[in-house]
Structure 1
Amino acid sequence: METERTKRKYQSELKWGSYYFITALFFSFSYSLIKFLIINQFKDESNNYIALFSSFVFICFFIFVFIYFLSKCIQEIKSEKRVNFFLKLGIALRIYLILYILAFFSFINSVEEFIIPKCELEIQEANG
């Protein structure tokens, strides 16, 4: 009974946190594609302003998406129990943490490629 209650406790946070991760991943790739195709076409001083403006829009969009998913998660949890300010803050932190945990595990193979050659280089320097 207790494990069922624990599963239901974090189920909505995990669901909305994973939706936030999928949305962030999709729009990060699309932003990179837009930046590569469109912004690199400009070779003058306006390139800096366009890049700055597009970054600002991108950050505002992510804040909006985070607030949207947070509100949906809080609405889902409100249907089961009362939600106070501290619980809302905890939910926001857990959703944000889920994004970065999933992002870390998504790209963990690329981290190993940077760590292992450095260790081999240090071993070669120590022996040579």
Structure 2
Amino acid sequence: MKLTAKTFATVRLDAGKTDQIFFDDEIPGFGLRVRAGGSRNWVFQYSLGEKQRRMSLGRATAESFKSSKGKDGTPNLGIRDRVMQMSLDVKHGKDPQGEKVESRSRASDTFQIVAAEYLKAKKAETRPGCQSACKF
């Protein structure tokens, strides 16, 4: 089945299942994860070397198929276009899930880096007893 704005809403779980992924026939790895509680999420599954990866791409809605431009003029691709781009990236050796995890990690390190730079700059102004207690 081709996952489109019309077909994704008609997909139902098989009897007795609480979680199921329905994959698109045209784009390898592109799927719709349906759960018994009613949630529907887009997924992209791929293999990189011997690693199998699956990443969630957000809630499945009819609007997720639409491509648009952001306020700053950057294009916001629809879900099918995004997955096709990620599929090409995987073919070129990139790891979309790994990049996502790495960028989150870098974002979480920001405060520590800024705080260390601030303390380094203020070192001359601090009392001697505070310098040993204020290290990271």
Confirm or deny a common fold (TM above 0.5): no
Q: TM-score with structure 2 length normalisation? A: 0.27
Of the two, which has the highest radius of gyration?
2
Q: TM-score with structure 1 length normalisation? A: 0.28
Q: Which has the higher contact order (CA 8 A, sep 6+)?
A: 1
More helix by share: 1
